[in-house]
Amino acid sequence: MRQAILLLLLTTFFTAAVSQEKITLNVENKPVTEALREIEKQTGYTFSYSPSLLKDFPRITLRIADGPLEKVLQALFDKTDIQYIMRGKYIILKKRPKEVTVSGFIYDRESHESLIAANIYDLTSGQGAVSNNFGFYSLSVKPGEIELCPSYVGYTSENHPLTVSQDTVIHFFLPPSALLKEVVVDGELKNPVLHAETGKISLNAATLKAVPALMGESDVIKTLQQMPGVAVGTDGMAGLYVRGGNADENLYLVDGNPLYHVHHLLGLFSTFNPEAVKTMDFYKGSFPARYGGRLSSVVDVRMNDGDMKKFSGTASIGLISSHLNLQGPLAKDKTSFSVSLRRTYLDLIARPAMYFINRRNKKKNPADYDKVDFAYYFYDFNAKISHKFSEKSRLYLSLYDGKDKLFFHSNSIRKYEINGDPVYSYETDYPDDNPIQYEYKRNADETSKIDIGWGTRMASLNWAYAVNSKLFSNATLVYSRYNSDISVSYENKETSSLKNMETQEEESGSIYQFFKPVYRSGIEDMGYRLNFDYAYNNCHLIRFGTAFLHHNFRPEESRFFRQDEDGERKNNDTITYADDRVRVQELSLYVEDEMDFGKRLKINAGIHLSGFFVQGKSYLSAQPRLSARYLLSEGLSLKASYARMSQYVHLLQSSYISSPNDLWIPITQNVKPLSSHQFSAGIFGRYRGFDLSAETYYKRSANQVEYKDGAGILASNTNWEERIAQGIGTSYGLELMAKRSFGKTSGWVGYTLSWADRQFPNGEINQGKVYPAKYDNRHKINAVLLHQFNRKFDLNISWVYATGNWTTLPIEEYIDMDGNKRQYIHQRNNYKMPDYQRLDLSFNYYRHKKNGRRGIWNFSIYNVYAHHNSFMVLPSEEFAPDPNTVNGNPQQSYPTYHSYPLLPFIPSFSYTYQF
Partner 1 sequence: MTKTIHTYLSILLAGILLSLPACEKEIKLDTGNYTPRIVMNGIISPDSLIEISLSKSFLYTDTLLDRSLLEDASLTLFINGEKRETMRMVRVDTVHGRDRLFGYTALKSIYRSTLRPETGDKIRIEASAEKLYPVWAETTIPTPPQIHRVDTATFFTYNPIINNDDHSYSGNTSGEPLFRNMRIKMTVSESSTGTNRYFRLRLRLMSEKIEEYPDLPERYLFIYTNDDPIFEEGYRNSLLEDLISGNSSLEGIKHFNSALFSNKLFRDNNYTLDFSITDYYYFHTTYEEKENDPGWVYPIYVPVKTEVFNPPIEVMFTAISPELYSYFREGDYDPSSDEEAFKIISEPEITFSNVHNGIGVVGSVSTAKAYINLPPPPEEENSIP
834 forms part of the interface with partner 1 (CB under 8 A): yes
429 forms part of the interface with partner 1 (CB under 8 A): yes
Q: What are phi and psi of 788, to 5 degrees?
A: -110, 115
Minimum separation from the CB atom of position 582 to partner 1 (A): 17
Residue 178 · residue 155 · CB < 8 Å: no
Residues 791-820 as x/- pattern, contact with partner 1 by CB under 8 A = -----------------xxxxxxxxxx-xx
Q: In whole angstroms, give the CA distance from residue 533 to residue 680.
A: 26
Window 479-508: residues binding partner 1 (CB under 8 A): 486, 488, 494, 496
Minimum separation from the CB atom of position 496 to partner 1 (A): 8
**Region for 650 from its dihedrals, namely left if φ exceeds 0, alpha if ψ lies in -120 to 50, beta otherwise:** beta
658 forms part of the interface with partner 1 (CB under 8 A): no
The neighbouring-strand residues paired with 589 are 546, 609
710 forms part of the interface with partner 1 (CB under 8 A): yes
Residue 452 · residue 434 · CB < 8 Å: no
159 forms part of the interface with partner 1 (CB under 8 A): no
Among 352, 420, 689, 852, contact with partner 1 (rule: CB under 8 A): 352
Window 183-222: residues binding partner 1 (CB under 8 A): none
- In 3D, which of 93, 99, 107, 869 has the Cα closest to residue 535? 99
749 forms part of the interface with partner 1 (CB under 8 A): no
Minimum separation from the CB atom of position 236 to partner 1 (A): 10
Query: Looking at residue 215, what DSSP letter applies?
Result: G
Among 279, 296, 558, 805, contact with partner 1 (rule: CB under 8 A): 558
350 forms part of the interface with partner 1 (CB under 8 A): yes
**Binding window for partner 1 (CB under 8 A); candidates: 171-179, 184-192, 847-855, 871-879:** 871-879
Q: In this structure, are strands 854-862 and 836-848 parallel, antiparallel, or unpaired?
A: antiparallel
Query: Looking at residue 710, what DSSP letter applies?
Result: T
**To which H or E segment does residue 206 belong?**
helix 205-210
890 cis-preceded (ω within 30 degrees of 0): yes
901 forms part of the interface with partner 1 (CB under 8 A): yes
Minimum separation from the CB atom of position 637 to partner 1 (A): 43
514 forms part of the interface with partner 1 (CB under 8 A): no
**Binding window for partner 1 (CB under 8 A); candidates: 76-84, 391-399, 741-749, 896-904:** 896-904
Residue number, 382 or 704, with CB nearest to partner 1: 704
899 forms part of the interface with partner 1 (CB under 8 A): yes
Among 542, 872, 911, 913, contact with partner 1 (rule: CB under 8 A): 872
CA distances from 576 to 375, 453, 483, 519 (A): 29, 20, 19, 10
Minimum separation from the CB atom of position 357 to partner 1 (A): 8
Minimum separation from the CB atom of position 647 to partner 1 (A): 21
902 forms part of the interface with partner 1 (CB under 8 A): yes
Half-sphere exposure of 33 (CA within 13 A, CB side): 10
Window 564-583: residues binding partner 1 (CB under 8 A): 566-569, 573, 575, 577-578
Residue 192 · residue 296 · CB < 8 Å: no
Window 588-627: residues binding partner 1 (CB under 8 A): none
Q: Who's near 559: CB < 8 A, 6+ residues apart?
A: 517, 518, 574, 575, 576, 577, 579
Q: In whole angstroms, give the CA distance from residue 464 to residue 735.
A: 37
**Binding window for partner 1 (CB under 8 A); candidates: 635-643, 674-682, 703-711, 848-856:** 703-711
Query: Looking at residue 155, what DSSP letter applies?
Result: B
364 forms part of the interface with partner 1 (CB under 8 A): no
Residue number, 529 or 828, with CB nearest to partner 1: 828
Residue number, 359 or 617, with CB nearest to partner 1: 359
Q: In whole angstroms, give the CA distance from residue 642 to residue 676.
A: 11
709 forms part of the interface with partner 1 (CB under 8 A): yes
Window 711-730: residues binding partner 1 (CB under 8 A): 711-719, 723
885 forms part of the interface with partner 1 (CB under 8 A): no
When computed from its CA atoms, the radius of gyration of the chain, rounded to whole angstroms, is 36
Minimum separation from the CB atom of position 550 to partner 1 (A): 28
Among 119, 654, 658, 788, contact with partner 1 (rule: CB under 8 A): 654
CB atoms within 10 A of CB 481: 16
**Binding window for partner 1 (CB under 8 A); candidates: 40-48, 283-291, 674-682, 893-901:** 893-901
- In 3D, which of 271, 237, 260 has the Cα closest to residue 342? 271
435 forms part of the interface with partner 1 (CB under 8 A): no
Minimum separation from the CB atom of position 711 to partner 1 (A): 6
Half-sphere exposure of 95 (CA within 13 A, CB side): 9
Q: In this structure, are strands 812-815 and 22-30 parallel, antiparallel, or unpaired?
A: unpaired
CA distances from 788 to 19, 92, 643 (A): 58, 60, 39
